[in-house]
Amino acid sequence: MSAWLHPRKPEWDRQHRGEVSLATVAAWPKREVLWIDARAPEIFEKGHIPDARNLASAVWDSQVEAVLQVWKPELRVVVYCDGHGCGASREVAARLKSELGFTTVYVLNGGWDAWRMQYPEAGQ
C-alpha cells in the first residue's frame, strides 16, 4: 500500500499530464468524444476504436482534413497509439494543439493496448 501512495512510485503506475484513463473516457457521453488513432494507416486498418479517425504524423497532410470535417469545438479529443511505450499519440496531440488550436486534447493512458484489454472482442 505504501508503494502505491509513494510520491516516487514507478513511472508505469503514473498518468502523465494530459493523459486520461479509459475509465474516465467511458464516463463521458460518447457523442462528446472524438477518438484519434495516431498509428500508421496499415496498423489502423487492422483494428481501431470504433468511430476513431486515423491521423498519423507521417501522413498528417493527407489525413488532417478528414479529422477537421468531424471535429467540433465542444468535442473532447482523445488520441491513442499502441501502448505505454508509444510516443506517437503525444506527438499528434501536441500538433493538434499547436497547429490546429484544439484545446481539449488528451492522450489515452495505455493506448490501444488498454482498449483491447477492456474490450478483447475489438481484435487485432
81 is known as an active-site residue: yes
In whole angstroms, give the CA distance from residue 52 to residue 111.
13
Do 39 and 55 touch, CB atoms closer than 8 A?
no
| Sheet of 53-54, strands arranged across | 19-20, 105-108, 76-80, 33-37, 53-54
Q: Pick the closest to residue 18 from 89, 66, 69 (CA basis).
A: 89
Q: Which one of 55, 81, 107, 108 is the catalytic residue?
A: 81
Catalytic residue positions?
81
